[in-house]
């Protein structure tokens, strides 16, 4: 079937299309109805069906592949590497689930997971799914204030953590951050389960803190029955930073998520049972939930969990793992590729990449130079894709399992099956034609796997996502884009990052592209700040390739923008910095940059590293103002 026919059927006949995709997973009880959309914009998928994410990811494979590797846990920080077969993974998940049960965790209870990229984090997530508990993973190393806000919102009975993570060869203590967060939080979890890695000393709280190794020993041979849950039962909460400082808890269902991930592995990522997938993200982010933990295991694949940087012990470590574990599907971010681009190119040719079919990249716009370089370096298809925490799986991608369509540099592709994507005028809500700029939106219902609601706040779900485009109940991605005559979308940046300079609407992405064409620019972020005269002004933050040659760099960047976009787009200032605040998936935290530039509190940002980076940038801005 052609892409066009496949996508068209998914939109016009969702019951028939998704009813077929639902056969990719196990149902303990068949669903009564594929889609219930009687209360827009709330979509209920596979209502009445009973299933379980852990059963589909682990137990289901014990019959045909018990001794196949399911999980590869690699840490170049601690020089440890261990594999788990599906049978061994099953045993570890049962032990973790037994610990939960012994501490009173039941279906619907929340378990907050604050962990580094170690195997126990995988066990912790799957054990929640096994018993119908709802996990909320918070990226390990998040600052205490941000962690406390998530504790108060999710109200977890239990928190699973490690005493420390590791980054760049140094221990990153988690326990003090967690203890401070619990002190700050109004809600107090009953228990904290600690995986002691022996990386740093820590204190325990009597009666609250439990040692994982001790608890595991008590339950070595326990088998915990699967809790069959309704397809609409929440599987997890994953928080996205909110501009108000109060994070939004994206609530995901169970059945729709399992079906969407299984379908995406078949139609987009083309992963097969018995193969290996290597996603370089972190379980603290949606990419890690979907394509480190759940999707590969649902598909009977081995998955690699990697703790470390792409440069330790050297810039060939990722490719060494691709070779060793015969990786067929790899998923990373453009930022990581740009890091590798600065290294000795021989690292890309030292290892056998013959089993690798494609490298998928997401998390930020993929520029042509980066895509061209990595394609030439590894001689594999480079597949861009675009999605959000809210959607759980790609909205835009070349669906290679349906039809291998041409790639267009700068575009993440065409709408994925199930997504009725529109490009709308944000003022009139009219649908736009080819090459016109508009807001990328999705006509309801959202397909399976997307967010059900904002945890505990249905009104916020509707007002935040569905009521921002005048006169229409339609989901806004808050991304500004264009669509060409062939239906390929191009992302220009957040709609709330569109700068209105003296009545001229300018996408930050356009200005960034212009500045990045300068030969001495490694990375750039542009934000709009308040300007009393023009309404807004563009401010650029740039990282130079050669820091010894920056005397005239600000003027050169401005001239470049003048030449390519015109004087109206010229930034008011170009600040030369050494680092930019980012999420682990590679997205630059532009609202934090904007807040610092305007002298405001950056709000809910998270990691200690980012706080340090923002403090340095604040100093640069202040010194520049005095000069």
Predicted confidence at residue 379, as pLDDT, reads: 94
Would you state the pLDDT for residue 78?
Answer: 96
* One domain for residues 429 and 566: no
pLDDT, mean of residues 171-194: 96
Same domain? For 443 and 533 the reply is: no
Please enumerate, as own/partner, the contacts of 369-372 that have beta carbons within 8 Å and a separation of 24 or more: 370/334, 370/337, 370/338, 370/341, 371/334, 371/409, 372/409
Q: Are 334 and 298 in contact (CB under 8 A)?
A: no
Of 264-268, 447-451, 464-468, 592-596, the poorest mean pLDDT is in: 592-596
Cβ atoms within 10 Å, residue 573:
16
Token couple for 124: 């912790």
Residues 571 and 432 placed together within one structural domain of the fold: no
Residue at 498 is within a domain: no
- The stretches of 107-205 forming alpha helices (DSSP H) are 119-131, 144-154, 175-184
pLDDT in tens, 110-157: 999 999 999 999 999 999 999 999 999 998 877 788 899 899 999 999
The answer to whether residue 534 is domain-embedded is yes
Residues 62 and 121 occupy one common structural domain: yes
In DSSP notation, 324-367 reads: HTTEEEEEE-HHHHHHHHTS-GGGGSSS--TT--EEEE-SS---
What gap in Å lies between CA 478 and CA 482, rounded to an integer? 13
Q: 439 and 524 in one domain? A: no
* Contact between 414 and 400 (Cβ < 8 Å): no
Pairing of strands 327-332, 80-85: unpaired
Rounded to the nearest 10 degrees, what angle do helices 334-341 and 368-378 cross at? 70
Cα–Cα distances in angstroms (integers) from residue 318 to residues 91, 170, 229, 322, 511, in the given order: 28, 20, 38, 6, 33
Burial 53-64 (b: 16+ CB within 10 A, else e): bbbbbbbbbeee
In a domain, 480, yes or no: no
Which of 133-137, 328-332, 560-564 bottoms out in mean pLDDT, i.e. has the lowest? 560-564
Q: Which of the four pLDDT bands, split at 50, 70 and 90, describes residue 584?
A: low
428 shares its domain with 545: no
End residue of a domain, out of 442, 463, 484: 463
Instruction: Give dist(CA 516, CA 342) in Å, integer.
Output: 16
How far is the CA of 72 from the CAs of 68, 269, 279, 325, in angstroms?
11, 19, 12, 9
CA distance 131 to 97: 7
> What's the confidence (pLDDT) of residue 503?
60
The DSSP call for residue 440 is E
Give mean pLDDT, residues 271-276. Answer: 97
Residues 558 and 423 in one domain: no
Q: What is the DSSP letter of 567?
A: G
- Would you say the C-alpha torsion 355, 387, 601, 136 has a positive or negative sign? negative
pLDDT confidence tier of residue 195, bands split at 50, 70 and 90: very high
Check residue 140 and give its pLDDT. Answer: 86
Task: Report residue 587's pLDDT band, with 50, 70 and 90 as the boundaries.
Answer: confident
pLDDT of residue 497: 65
Lowest mean per-residue pLDDT among 20-29, 236-245, 323-332: 236-245
179/261 same-domain check: yes
3-state class (DSSP) for residue 463: helix
* Length of the chain counted residue by residue: 627
pLDDT score of 533: 65
Range of the domain at 321: 3-242+251-463
How many angstroms separate the first and last alpha carbons of the chain?
Answer: 64
One domain for residues 458 and 518: no
Do 453 and 543 reside in the same domain of the chain?
no
Distance CA 325, CA 275 (A): 9
Mean pLDDT score of the chain? 92
Mean pLDDT of 423-450: 95
In tens, the pLDDT along 57-108 reads 999 999 999 999 999 999 999 999 999 999 999 999 999 999 999 999 999 9
Whether 475 is in a domain gets the answer no
**Same-domain pairing of 518 and 430:** no
Region of 278 please: left (phi>0), alpha (psi -120 to 50) or beta.
beta
Q: What angle do CA 340, 398, 481 make, to 5 degrees?
A: 85
Answer yes or no: is 74 within a domain.
Answer: yes
C-alpha dihedral sign at 617, 619, 620, 621: positive
597 and 538, same structural domain? yes
Is the per-residue pLDDT at 167 higher than 50?
yes
Q: Specify if 124 maps to a domain.
A: yes
Q: Report the pLDDT averaged over residues 497-512.
A: 72
Alpha helix positions (H), 164-294: 175-184, 212-218, 255-264, 286-288
Which pLDDT belongs to residue 495? Answer: 72
DSSP H or E stretch at residue 619:
helix 608-626
Task: Give, in order, the Cα–Cα distances in Å from 153 to each of 114, 134, 148, 238, 250.
Answer: 15, 13, 9, 11, 12
- Of 112, 121, 175, which is closest to residue 149 (Cα–Cα)? 112
Name the band, by pLDDT with cuts 50, 70 and 90, for residue 363.
confident
Hey, is 398 helix, strand or coil? coil
What CATH number is attached to the domain comprising 599?
3.30.300.30
Answer whether residue 31 is part of any domain. Answer: yes
The answer on pLDDT for 245 being more than 60 is no
- The per-residue pLDDT for range 574-583, each reduced to its tens digit, is 999 999 988 7
Among 463, 498, 529, the domain-final residue is 463
Per-residue exposure over 385-422, b if at least 16 CB sit within 10 Å of its own CB, e if not: bbbbbbbbbbbbbbbbbbbebebbeebbbbbbbbbbbb
The 10s digit of each residue's pLDDT in 386-403 is 999 999 999 999 999 999
User: What is the 3-state composition of the chain as percent helix, strand, coil, each rounded to the nearest 5?
Assistant: 35, 25, 40
Q: Is residue 243's pLDDT more than 70?
A: no
Q: What CATH number corresponds to the domain at position 72?
A: 3.40.50.12780
Contact between residue 496 and residue 244 where contact means Cβ atoms under 8 Å apart:
no
Other residues' Cβ atoms within 10 Å of the Cβ of residue 554: 17
Residue 254 has pLDDT above 50, yes or no: yes
In this prediction, residue 221 has a pLDDT band, given cuts at 50, 70 and 90, of very high
| pLDDT tens, position by position, 512-552 | 888 998 999 999 999 988 876 667 889 999 999 988 888 89
* Domain assignment of residue 356, yes or no: yes
Residue with tokens 């992963």: 271
**Residue 532 has what pLDDT?**
66
Number of structural domains found in the chain:
2
DSSP code string of 268-304: II---TT-EEEE-S-TTSHHHIIIIIIHHHHTT-EEE
Domain final position from 433, 463, 493: 463
Other beta carbons less than 10 A from residue 85's beta carbon: 18
């Amino acid at each position: 079937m052609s892409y066009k026919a496949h996508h068209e059927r998914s939109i016009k006949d969702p019951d028939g299309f998704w009813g077929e995709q639902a056969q990719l997973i196990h149902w303990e009880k068949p669903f009564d109805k594929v889609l219930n959309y009687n209360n827009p914009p709330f979509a209920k998928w596979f209502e009445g069906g009973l299933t379980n994410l852990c059963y589909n990811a682990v137990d289901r494979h014990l019959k045909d592949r018990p001794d196949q590797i399911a999980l590869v846990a690699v840490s170049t920080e601690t020089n440890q590497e261990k594999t788990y077969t599906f049978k061994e993974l099953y045993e570890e998940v049962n032990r973790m689930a037994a610990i939960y049960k012994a501490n009173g965790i039941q279906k619907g209870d929340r378990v907050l997971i604050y962990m580094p990229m170690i195997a126990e984090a995988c066990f912790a997530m799957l054990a929640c799914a096994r018993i119908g508990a709802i996990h909320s993973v918070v990226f390990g190393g998040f600052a205490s204030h941000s962690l406390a806000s998530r504790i108060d919102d999710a109200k977890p009975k239990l928190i699973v953590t490690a005493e420390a993570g590791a980054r760049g060869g140094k221990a990153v203590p988690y326990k003090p951050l967690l203890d401070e967060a619990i002190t700050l939080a109004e809600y107090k979890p009953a228990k904290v389960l600690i995986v002691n890695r022996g990386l740093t000393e820590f204190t325990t709280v009597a009666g609250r803190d439990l040692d994982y190794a001790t608890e595991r020993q008590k339950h070595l041979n326990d088998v915990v029955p699967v809790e069959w849950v309704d397809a609409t039962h929440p599987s997890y909460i994953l928080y996205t930073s909110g501009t108000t400082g109060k994070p939004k808890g994206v609530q995901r269902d169970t059945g729709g998520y399992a079906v969407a991930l299984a379908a995406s592995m078949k139609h987009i990522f083309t992963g097969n049972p018995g193969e290996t997938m290597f996603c370089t993200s972190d379980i603290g982010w949606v990419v890690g939930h979907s394509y480190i933990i759940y999707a590969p295991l649902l598909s009977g694949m081995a998955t690699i969990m990697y703790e470390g940087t792409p440069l330790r012990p050297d810039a060939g470590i990722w490719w060494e793992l691709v070779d060793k574990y015969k990786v067929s599907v790899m998923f990373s971010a453009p930022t990581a590729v740009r890091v590798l681009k600065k290294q000795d190119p021989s690292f890309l040719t030292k290892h056998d990449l013959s089993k690798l079919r494609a490298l998928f990249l997401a998390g930020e716009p993929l520029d042509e130079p980066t895509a061209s370089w990595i394609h030439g370096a590894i001689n594999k298809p480079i597949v861009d894709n675009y999605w959000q925490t809210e959607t759980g799986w790609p909205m835009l991608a070349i669906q290679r399992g349906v039809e291998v369509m041409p790639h267009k540099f700068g575009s993440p592709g065409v709408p994925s099956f199930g997504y009725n994507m529109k490009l709308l005028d944000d003022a009139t809500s009219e649908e736009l034609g080819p090459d016109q700029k508009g807001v990328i939106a999705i006509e309801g219902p959202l397909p399976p796997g997307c967010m059900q609601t904002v945890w505990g706040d249905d009104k916020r779900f509707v007002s935040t996502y569905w009521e921002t485009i005048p006169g229409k109940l339609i989901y806004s991605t808050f991304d500004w884009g264009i669509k060409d005559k062939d239906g390929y979308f191009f992302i220009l940046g957040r709609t709330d990052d569109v700068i209105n300079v003296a009545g001229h609407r300018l996408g930050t992405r356009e200005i960034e592209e212009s500045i990045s064409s300068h030969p001495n620019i490694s990375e750039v972020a542009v934000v709009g700040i308040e300007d009393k005269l023009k309404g807004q002004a563009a401010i650029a933050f740039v990282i130079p390739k050669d820091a010894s040659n920056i005397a005239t760099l600000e003027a050169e960047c401005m001239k470049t923008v003048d030449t390519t976009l015109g004087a109206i787009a010229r930034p008011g200032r170009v600040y030369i910095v050494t680092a930019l605040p980012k999420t682990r998936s590679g997205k630059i935290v532009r609202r934090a940059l904007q807040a610092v530039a305007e002298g405001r509190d950056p709000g809910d940002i998270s990691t200690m590293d980012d706080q340090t980076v923002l403090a340095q940038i604040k100093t640069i801005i202040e010194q520049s103002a005095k000069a």
